[in-house]
Structure 1
Amino acid sequence: MKTPGVADASQHVASNVLGLFHSSAFILVSLVAIGVLAGLLFRVGVIGFALKLFGTLVRWMIRTGFQIWEYLLSWAEWPLFLGTTLVMLGLGWVTIGLVPPFAILFGSLTLFMGVTACLAYMAIDLERYDVVRGYKALHDPGLGQAVAEKLVRYGDILGVPLLAAAAVSAVGGFALFNMGLYETVGRTWYAVVPHEGVPGYFDFLAYSLINLYQLVDVLDLAGSYNGVQITHLRPTQWPASTLLAAFKIFFTLILLQQLFASVRKGQALAEAIADFWSPHPSVHERARNSLHQHGAGVVQPLLNSLRTLTCLTKEQRDRLPQILADIGPACAPTLTRYLSDPNEGVRAVASAALGHLSVADAVPALVRLASDPSELVRQAVVAALGTIGENATRAARQRSLSIGRRRRNWIRWKRNRPMNETPAAPTADLAVDTLATALTDNSSSVRIEAARALGQIGTPAARTSGALATLLGDADETVRCGAAEALGKVGAEDQIPALAELLKDSSPVIKEAAARALGSLKGASSSAVPELVALLQDREPSVRQAVAEAIGQIGTLSEEATTALVEGLTSRDTAVRAQTAEALGAIGSAAEDAAPALVEALTDGNDRVRAEAASALGKIGEAAADAAVPGLVRALRDKDSWVSALAAEALGEIGEAAEEAVPALVRSLRHINPLVRANAAEALGKLGPAAADALPALVTAAKDADGNVRSRAVCALSEVAPADDPAPCRVALDLLADADSLVRAAAVEALAQHGAADESIAAAVLPLLEDANDQVKFQVIRAAPKLLGPAPEVVDGLIRRLLEDDSAWIREGAAAALGQLGSAAVAAGPSLLRAAQTGETAVRLQAVRAMVMIQPPEAVAAFSTALQDADPEIRKIASAGWIKAGAVPDDVVPALVDALRDPEMQVRANAAHLLGRLDALPAEAVPLLIDCAAHPNDGLRMNAAVALREGRPEAATEVFAHLLDDSNVRIRLIAAGAILTRDPADVRAATVVTGILSDPVARLRAIALEIITSLGQEAWHFLDALKLRVDEEDDPEIRERMRELVARCEEWKAAQNTAPTEEGSTFNPLAVVAQVFSGDKDVATP
């Protein structure tokens, strides 16, 4: 039996336990009830509406925050923003003891700055996602797209650095604001725990961060176990708790936005690929425009998605490879791997994309695929081989064109070797052999593509002329056409009879193709001219046009052919006479013997015949001047205004030889028909100073009622007037305000041609940078470097056009003009960087070129991005830009190593040159440089050899030994110097240097002598060779240096057993190469 006290205690404990049980059960039941209620509310749409309302509120906050930031804070990039924030926080902290309300003021201002900047960043980030998805575009929006105006304008400012600065501003401002409240009205709102005390600013700063990162519970846990006892602030009143809750909610929103941004970035690629295959044009186009923004990472998933398609349309096969190629050369390794994919669509697209990229290293893999069972794959392979072979041929041709030229600009190529040393392009040879086999393919589509590809490659494919000629008898008409045109492009002169025979084919398209082929062979086809002349009366206009152009390309007309053509001008059939005159015009200067007959035709009773005769005389040009000018002067008064207009135009085409026509053209400036007046003004301009007597009439014509006449007249004035005549500038300045945009554009063009930089001209022209007409703006931009100069307002205007104009060609021109201004346009660096990263191909090209010319601080980022660009010209300019930029940052070295794999030889050569300038050559670059050292191009081999010698010579011993037999004497010298550094007695290297001592080029002899001198006392090995050569040397300076070296070598030889090696006489090949090969490296011209 329990005592009463014990019973009461037991009852109390039981009651508490029962109460706890009831409370716990109530909580659990409440949670279940809340879940059921939430489900019901979701079903009826209440929660969805609430979430939608919340989303609308958040979007409104973001939009409003951006607008406030744009209006008040868009002037501050992140360094200035952060500096301003720290200054305001410092002022608030300093003044809080003197004037506590100032802490509230400065704290609220910095908090406001931070919050609005964070919201502005969120707005930009959302728009950036719209661009990635393809809903918006940075420039030139496509179907279903809008312009990302915020991103274009503020994308450079609102980046992660500004977000970090904004977070500092918000947290610091919140702390200062709370401290100000504590010091004024809220001393009881906060408590210092677990110890009492007076908090300072750093306590409030810790208060903000501890609560923001949810560290309060961690601190309490540490204190409960007698761990670290940290004194910190807690809110004790509802105002402080409310402010803290709002602060935490805001930063939670920022955190969630960043989290969702990361998730969106991962989903965007999958969604873009799915949308790419959409049947809806707007959706497909939007996705297509967004794919390249994902970089090389899009290649694999996009190719994998092809496997899910049951079929691939012709349009998709044509467009998808170009989309992949636009990503750039970084995707080439992935594309090469997919050449062995089991899906034929994947193999076809990968092959075509490699062709668009012109990846020469992929040729062996493509050749193996040429016998693929799929017709689509074989067709894509031969097309790719044609493109790659064409580019290889073009590169070889460019090397040949530069042979023998001495270029002193240090960033240009120098290839000064004999013509017969130009190596054949092995890539083109391999492609030609494969394509020749494809000409016998069972598929007509493959045969057509193979013929077209051989035509692309050109003369290196001439050995396939027999196989192509066989296809002239193919059953497929398109195959015959392709074979005929290819024969002309490969220079198959031995097949001219076969092509002439093809002119008799009944098919118009076959006759056109044969005529174009014969025209491509130029003078070699002169024997086929009679057959071509016969077709000038063909009933098909396209055949007549092709034949006439072919005769003009051939450039010669026999007497019989001329007689036959002239007879056509006397035909009873009006159409035949007109067609004959038209054909003679298309032939051009080769038809000069027919000029008298055409002059006679100017009196024909038919308007069309007279018009065609006048036009033909103009196309024949100066060669017809003696016979044509008098007749054309008479034709200026023809009863038909169209004939008069063409006569004026023809006189202009004849040029200065038509000087006697000036009075007649001046009279035509008063013709009733505005086209005649306009053509007369233009003709006077083409006559140049010979038409100086027409100046007063042209000044009057510049006030003509017709805008076309005014524009032609003001341009003519600038071409006719003497350089010191102020009339053209005066007239042009008056016309800058003309209502006709064509006239305003012509006035700017005239000022650019005749005027010079002048304050009055600049003040009148500069406002036209904001003209509504693109042609006017283009002329102003083109004239800006000459007329406006590098004034800050000019640079600012060009920057606006670069960033804000909706026309790509205007943005392209603005970038080019900024580049021409040089270092004075350094303020354009950020804008040019944005254009180089986001613009169209032509805009990116000009922006990178401008970076090379201006060299702003942003050039480093621009060149790094451009090295990965899809366009080969941009990569060439970027790699050359690094050379001009000087120092190469460490973070760019991996990109330079990757550039050694670039499809463009010029990019590889520039990358090798840059790697040769590094203090330490990366190990991964060595095998790539060794490959480059075996390339047929002199510049690439030279730069690779120098880079290996400077960086890791021990890894390139075999390379240098091989280069001793190189066809280029400079490369042999580099290799010999490298070997002699390690082994001064090496016989092969010594033989190379000794042989060059007798070279006919004095500069090479000087190089060889310098190498020997650089060996120090070891140079005595060359004593005998020097003695044999010294008396034969005809260059006084070299002979004197050689005599001095002989004397020293004799001393060294005599003392070799006792004297130590001269200290510091190590051979430095780069010093020698820098001295004697300056400018000889294969480098792109910006």
Structure 2
Amino acid sequence: MDAWAPVSVTFAVSNWLIDPDQVRSSTLLFLTLIGIGLLAGALYFVGIIDWLLWLVGALIRGGTRTGFRVWEQCLSWASWPLFLAVQLVLLTSGALVAEALPGLTVMCALAPLAMGLAACLAYMFIDVERYEVARGYKALHNPLKGQKLAAELARYGHQVEVPLLGSAAVGMIGGFALLNFGLFEMFGTKWYSSPAPDPIYSDFIASALVHLLSVVDLLNLADTHHLARVVVARPAAAPASTLLTLFKSFFTLVLLQQIFASVRNGRLLTETVADFWSPHEPIHERARSALPQYGAVALGPLLLSLRATDTLTREQRDQLPHVLATIGPVAVPSLIAHLDDPNEHVRAVAISTLGRLRAAAGLPQMIARAQDSSDLVRLSLAQALGEIVSTTTPTLPRARRRRGEWRVWRVLAVRRWNTPPHGDPVALVVPALRAALRDSAASVRAAATASLGQLGPAHAAEVTPDLLGLLADTDETVRERATEALGRLGASDSASVAALTGLLQDPSPAIRIAAARALGSLRAAACDAVSHLVPLLQDRDEAVRTAAAEAVSKIGTLCEAATSTLAEALTSADNVVRARTAEALGTIGGAAAEVAPVLVEAVADENDRVRAKAVEALGKIGEAAAEVAVPRLVHALRDPDNWVSALAAEALGEMGAAADEAVPALMRSLKHPNTQVRTNAAEALGKLGAVARPAVSALERAATDEDGGVRARAVRALGEVGTPTPVTTNTVRTALADPDPHTRAAAVDAFGAWGQASDEVQNDLLALLDDANDEVKVRVVRVLPRLVQGTPAVIEALDHRLTADDSDWVRAEAARALGQFGAAATPAGPALLRAAQTGEAGLREEAMRALVVAQPPEAATAFTTGLRDAEPSVRKLASAGWRKAAEIPEEAVPVLIEALHDPEVQVRANAAHAISRLDPVPAEAVPLLAECALAPDAGLRLNAALALQAAPGQAAADALHPLLDDPNPRLRLIAARRLFTDDPADATTATAVAEALVAPASSVRQAAFDLIESIHPAAPATLKVLRDRTATETDSDVTQLLNEAIARLEPLVASEPQPPEGTASAEVDVPVIPAVG
């Protein structure tokens, strides 16, 4: 045969569309790949590839959006446990009827497949919006210019998380296996190659997992080497293979999305950490706001980035712990692990953050760093220990949870790390701080001193000796901090007062100021120091003079020696001394009334500055000096210095009714050539009120003064002196159109003070809602609820201000006014809802308050979104709204349960109260209510107990048991009611109720008796406790109460059905109540 003879290629068409032999197959494959490459290049050149990529992207985006909408409409009602349970029920039902009803099995398989598909697409949709929020393209609340509102994430972000994605994956894998099982029952080996003659559902689950995880090649390899032989069901026909391909493709898409999301988030976190250290303020601020969104995931990279930082500024040291603390208590374990980091900045920041979180459980590890070689670490430790034991209630940062971190772990973390490991943390902190007082670094000693001052008065006696010793420290800052700490602790013993008094002579102004303020905080206990404070009123440093004067004012008394000293200073030959003394007496205020006669004499001083300070001081002393001051102040109205005359008019306005004799002089001052004198005279007449009625005509003339300030004060005074005459009304109404905005605002206030307005005036006021000046509009909005009814025209006008005005101030006042109209403001519900969701913080608060009062149909939506607002005051109002709401819709329940996590006690308390109104109380709320029932706040415990009382199940009853020992008797009785309902013979409950029956307060005793009366079967157990207590009680008063309680319970026990004769009655072993002290 010729080697070069042509060879034909034969294609068999019996079973395959194309069937070349082996050699030609390889050639054909290479040629095909080359052809595809050339075709792709050509398509890219003409732009078709770009169009196809855009189309694929659009299809994916449209698919995820459609899937999310399907999930929202059909499945958003289900939490992930309920979602998973529904899928499992469908899968189990389909598997059970597969042999008899394979068609029904296929339908049962399609349902979880569709549910899982929608949930996966919803997760992808929400995950994209999370990324947009992290990058700043969108905002959860109050979007800035250029940002959009992430409405879907705000509404469903807590629900569409990793647990839901995992549930969807379970349902889809199980549904696909069930679908193949049903199809096998219908078509048999035509579609599938079965591993057994009679396969079961688990065989198809195994097949789905094997193909999904791509371990088929591994199984073939094991079979080839005779290592293992595993046979699974495989598709044997095109329909089954197509289903498998689609199934694997979708899961590959979801897997790739998660991989890309992880890479993207990791890269984004790295960039955000780098941006945090940027010197450019906008970039730094953006990173600072974004880092807490990552939760505990960001903690490690951010701390490790400190290792590359050679220096850390004071601002950065203060700011970084604040950023980390916003992550919440879930960060505590990682922070403790970093306390041994080799980098001093990492250790210092970790300690500072633990202090901000008040992580008492980390105290042993923190105190172990007390001998750290780094001054910075020891300084951070001294400051953190003070924060942990501080007696002030901090505003703890709201814990942020990174997506994928389940709520249960967050709850456990809060409970674990905020709990002191060894009882009272003060017992651990005080010795460590005392040791720090001997530190070689002055900054550490100063910080430890300040921290000791935060312990509060309860520990004053314990640490005062240490602080007194520090008053002799070589470092001025340490001495200053010790002085401040003594005042903060309220160290009122004689040794402390004497030491602080001695410091008033310290060369350092800062020490003198601190000593004066500390003595002022002791109030009456420091009365002996007044004579030493008075000389400081002449100090060269103005801050020292002010601190001394304020201290004398707080102490409240001037001894005879101090009075003589001040009087003598007012007669000094030095003008500066006289002026400073008068100024100090004004700062002291009412406590300086005894020096008023000398001040009156100073009003006639030859120096105009002294006269001005004396007049001003008399005005600050007020009515206590009126008897001696008014005549001289009237004379001062004619002082040659206009400033003295103006101050005299102002002072007369502070003298009250005793200044009635000054009214004619003030009327004359309305014609004074100086505008400030005229202005102050009008203001003084207004402050005198009804006493100044004779000045109405003069004020009406002053309302037409050429100066706008005088007109404004005169118009306002007309509103303050009493009921208007017709002339006065016309004068003030004319002022509504005054060209000066302050005068228009004053006219509005005048009508508001009178509390009445004619229809014409009301129309004028409504017209002023369109005034060009914001203050005028605000004044109108404030007086409308006092002057008009909530008519449709008024509500519409306020609604327009709320929606159309460009001033947040006006909009907030409009929202407040709508709330004052109550239910009449219902038509403004949509505008209030929009303002409560999209306005700035103050506007959201006022709009939410109005919604709580008015309760329009939109209130439910506002309360639901308000519980997730970033502003604590808005969340408080939203939670209060659910307390007042007539009913609580089902869609609000998950949000209320989530609110039991809120860092604000009031929000948790209101949410617990709202949940107590549900019937039934959701089981998923019980663990959180149990946590709230152990909170320090009595109101929160009370509302949580009410909800647990109404909750079904043993878990709620178990959570109420600890409340039987609560210090609040009402809480004990709430718990007892539920526990007695479950078990009337419960020994512990009977003990708690018996103790309430002998409580000192009659209301508590009556409430306990009412409880027993409503639950008769509980009477025998309680009566037995009372009788046992009688046998051991020694206090006569308590014995009398015991006898009274027994007498009241015996008829109840007698009325109870007795057990049949011969039946042993149940004996209740009840512990004896401890004797009442």
Instruction: Tell me if the contact between 2:803 and 2:811 (Cα under 8 Å) persists in the aligned partners.
Output: yes
Instruction: Tell me if the contact between 1:1020 and 1:1053 (Cα under 8 Å) persists in the aligned partners.
Output: no
Determine if the alignment matches structure 1 residue 624 to structure 2 residue 621. no
Partner of 2:1056: 1052
Determine if the alignment matches structure 1 residue 481 to structure 2 residue 480. yes
Q: Classify 1:992/1:323 alpha carbon distance in 2 versus 1 (closer, same or farther; 3 Å).
A: closer
SS class of match (1:473): coil
Question: 560-569 or 463-472, which moves further after superposition?
Answer: 463-472
Determine if the alignment matches structure 1 residue 783 to structure 2 residue 783. yes
Question: 264-273 or 927-936, which moves further after superposition?
Answer: 264-273
CA distance in 1, matches of 2:900, 2:451: 27
Determine if the alignment matches structure 1 residue 334 to structure 2 residue 337. no
1:459-608 aligned within 5 A: 459-463=457-461, 464-494=463-493, 495-608=496-609
1:686-1085 aligned within 5 A: 686-722=687-723, 725=725, 730-756=730-756, 759-787=759-787, 790-791=790-791, 795=795, 798=798, 809-826=809-826, 828-829=828-829, 832-833=832-833, 835-836=835-836, 840-867=840-867, 872-885=872-885, 887-888=887-888, 899-900=899-900, 902-919=902-919, 929-951=929-951, 954-955=954-955, 963-999=963-999, 1001-1016=1001-1016, 1019=1019, 1049-1052=1053-1056, 1057=1061
Q: Following TM superposition, by how much is the alpha carbon of 1:599 offset from its aligned partner in structure 2, in angstroms?
A: 1.2
Q: Following TM superposition, by how much is the alpha carbon of 1:362 offset from its aligned partner in structure 2, in angstroms?
A: 7.7
Task: Report the AA paired with residue 340 of structure 1.
Answer: A
Instruction: Tell me if the contact between 1:848 and 1:874 (Cα under 8 Å) persists in the aligned partners.
Output: yes
CA distance in 2, matches of 1:961, 1:362: 29
Partner of 2:636: 635
CA distance in 2, matches of 1:735, 1:356: 55
Task: Report the AA paired with residue 334 of structure 1.
Answer: A
Q: Following TM superposition, by how much is the alpha carbon of 1:446 offset from its aligned partner in structure 2, in angstroms?
A: 3.6
Instruction: Tell me if the contact between 1:864 and 1:892 (Cα under 8 Å) persists in the aligned partners.
Output: yes
Q: Following TM superposition, by how much is the alpha carbon of 1:314 offset from its aligned partner in structure 2, in angstroms?
A: 1.9
Q: Following TM superposition, by how much is the alpha carbon of 1:622 offset from its aligned partner in structure 2, in angstroms?
A: 0.9
Task: Report the AA paired with residue 457 of structure 2.
Answer: T
Partner of 1:679: 680
Instruction: Tell me if the contact between 1:537 and 1:580 (Cα under 8 Å) persists in the aligned partners.
Output: yes
CA distance in 1, matches of 2:141, 2:272: 19
CA distance in 2, matches of 1:860, 1:674: 55
- Structure number with the bigger relative contact order (C-alpha 8 A, sep ≥ 6) is 1
Instruction: Tell me if the contact between 2:998 and 2:1045 (Cα under 8 Å) persists in the aligned partners.
Output: no
Instruction: Tell me if the contact between 1:819 and 1:850 (Cα under 8 Å) persists in the aligned partners.
Output: yes
Identity over the aligned pairs, expressed in percent?
49
Q: Classify 1:658/1:600 alpha carbon distance in 2 versus 1 (closer, same or farther; 3 Å).
A: same
Partner of 1:1083: none
Q: Following TM superposition, by how much is the alpha carbon of 1:551 offset from its aligned partner in structure 2, in angstroms?
A: 1.0
SS class of match (1:691): helix
Q: Following TM superposition, by how much is the alpha carbon of 1:571 offset from its aligned partner in structure 2, in angstroms?
A: 1.5
Q: Classify 1:29/1:895 alpha carbon distance in 2 versus 1 (closer, same or farther; 3 Å).
A: closer
Instruction: Tell me if the contact between 2:517 and 2:551 (Cα under 8 Å) persists in the aligned partners.
Output: yes
Q: Following TM superposition, by how much is the alpha carbon of 1:595 offset from its aligned partner in structure 2, in angstroms?
A: 1.1
SS class of match (1:503): helix
CA distance in 1, matches of 2:757, 2:384: 50
CA distance in 2, matches of 1:280, 1:526: 53
CA distance in 2, matches of 1:584, 1:492: 27
Instruction: Tell me if the contact between 1:758 and 1:788 (Cα under 8 Å) persists in the aligned partners.
Output: no
CA distance in 2, matches of 1:127, 1:955: 38
- CA deviations 1:472-509 (Å, max 9, x no partner) are 22222122222212211221112111111111111111
Task: Report the AA paired with residue 634 of structure 2.
Answer: V
How does the TM-score come out when normalised to structure 1?
0.66
Partner of 2:443: 445
1:162-177 aligned within 5 A: none
Q: Following TM superposition, by how much is the alpha carbon of 1:706 offset from its aligned partner in structure 2, in angstroms?
A: 1.5
Determine if the alignment matches structure 1 residue 613 to structure 2 residue 614. yes
- CA deviations 1:101-123 (Å, max 9, x no partner) are xxxxxxxxxxxxxxxxxxxxxxx
Task: Report the AA paired with residue 331 of structure 1.
Answer: G
CA distance in 2, matches of 1:886, 1:622: 51
Q: Classify 1:21/1:469 alpha carbon distance in 2 versus 1 (closer, same or farther; 3 Å).
A: closer
Alignment gaps of 5+ in structure 2: 13-19, 58-71, 74-126, 158-236, 242-258, 396-422, 1031-1035, 1038-1042, 1066-1077
CA distance in 1, matches of 2:1002, 2:720: 48
Alignment gaps of 5+ in structure 1: 59-77, 80-124, 142-146, 162-223, 229-258, 396-424, 1034-1038, 1062-1086
Q: Following TM superposition, by how much is the alpha carbon of 1:668 offset from its aligned partner in structure 2, in angstroms?
A: 0.9
Q: Classify 1:726/1:333 alpha carbon distance in 2 versus 1 (closer, same or farther; 3 Å).
A: farther
Partner of 2:1040: none
CA distance in 2, matches of 1:866, 1:535: 53
Instruction: Tell me if the contact between 2:964 and 2:992 (Cα under 8 Å) persists in the aligned partners.
Output: yes
Instruction: Tell me if the contact between 2:140 and 2:154 (Cα under 8 Å) persists in the aligned partners.
Output: no
Q: Classify 1:945/1:293 alpha carbon distance in 2 versus 1 (closer, same or farther; 3 Å).
A: closer
CA distance in 2, matches of 1:938, 1:844: 29
Q: Classify 1:508/1:267 alpha carbon distance in 2 versus 1 (closer, same or farther; 3 Å).
A: same
CA distance in 1, matches of 2:358, 2:858: 30
- CA deviations 1:584-604 (Å, max 9, x no partner) are 111111111211111111111
Q: Following TM superposition, by how much is the alpha carbon of 1:860 offset from its aligned partner in structure 2, in angstroms?
A: 4.4
CA distance in 2, matches of 1:908, 1:362: 26
Instruction: Tell me if the contact between 1:133 and 1:272 (Cα under 8 Å) persists in the aligned partners.
Output: no
Q: Classify 1:691/1:394 alpha carbon distance in 2 versus 1 (closer, same or farther; 3 Å).
A: farther
CA distance in 2, matches of 1:857, 1:24: 68
CA distance in 1, matches of 2:966, 2:130: 53
CA distance in 2, matches of 1:442, 1:868: 48
- CA deviations 1:254-304 (Å, max 9, x no partner) are xxxxx9999999977665554443212343345556667788887776566
Cα root mean square deviation, aligned:
5.5
Task: Report the AA paired with residue 1050 of structure 1.
Answer: A
Q: Classify 1:372/1:962 alpha carbon distance in 2 versus 1 (closer, same or farther; 3 Å).
A: farther
Determine if the alignment matches structure 1 residue 646 to structure 2 residue 644. no
CA distance in 1, matches of 2:138, 2:804: 15
- CA deviations 1:411-435 (Å, max 9, x no partner) are xxxxxxxxxxxxxx96778766765
Task: Report the AA paired with residue 675 of structure 1.
Answer: Q
CA distance in 2, matches of 1:427, 1:870: 31
Task: Report the AA paired with residue 493 of structure 1.
Answer: S
Q: Following TM superposition, by how much is the alpha carbon of 1:665 offset from its aligned partner in structure 2, in angstroms?
A: 0.9
Q: Classify 1:901/1:472 alpha carbon distance in 2 versus 1 (closer, same or farther; 3 Å).
A: farther
SS class of match (2:655): helix
CA distance in 1, matches of 2:750, 2:351: 50
Q: Following TM superposition, by how much is the alpha carbon of 1:567 offset from its aligned partner in structure 2, in angstroms?
A: 1.3
CA distance in 1, matches of 2:154, 2:943: 42
Task: Report the AA paired with residue 775 of structure 1.
Answer: E
CA distance in 2, matches of 1:640, 1:948: 73
CA distance in 1, matches of 2:266, 2:321: 23
SS class of match (1:692): helix
Q: Following TM superposition, by how much is the alpha carbon of 1:821 offset from its aligned partner in structure 2, in angstroms?
A: 3.4
Partner of 1:319: 319
CA distance in 1, matches of 2:148, 2:464: 55
CA distance in 2, matches of 1:803, 1:296: 40
CA distance in 2, matches of 1:159, 1:965: 40
Partner of 1:415: none
SS class of match (1:493): coil
Instruction: Tell me if the contact between 1:140 and 1:808 (Cα under 8 Å) persists in the aligned partners.
Output: no
Question: 510-519 or 878-887, which moves further after superposition?
Answer: 878-887
Instruction: Tell me if the contact between 1:432 and 1:461 (Cα under 8 Å) persists in the aligned partners.
Output: no
Task: Report the AA paired with residue 708 of structure 1.
Answer: G
Aligned length: 850
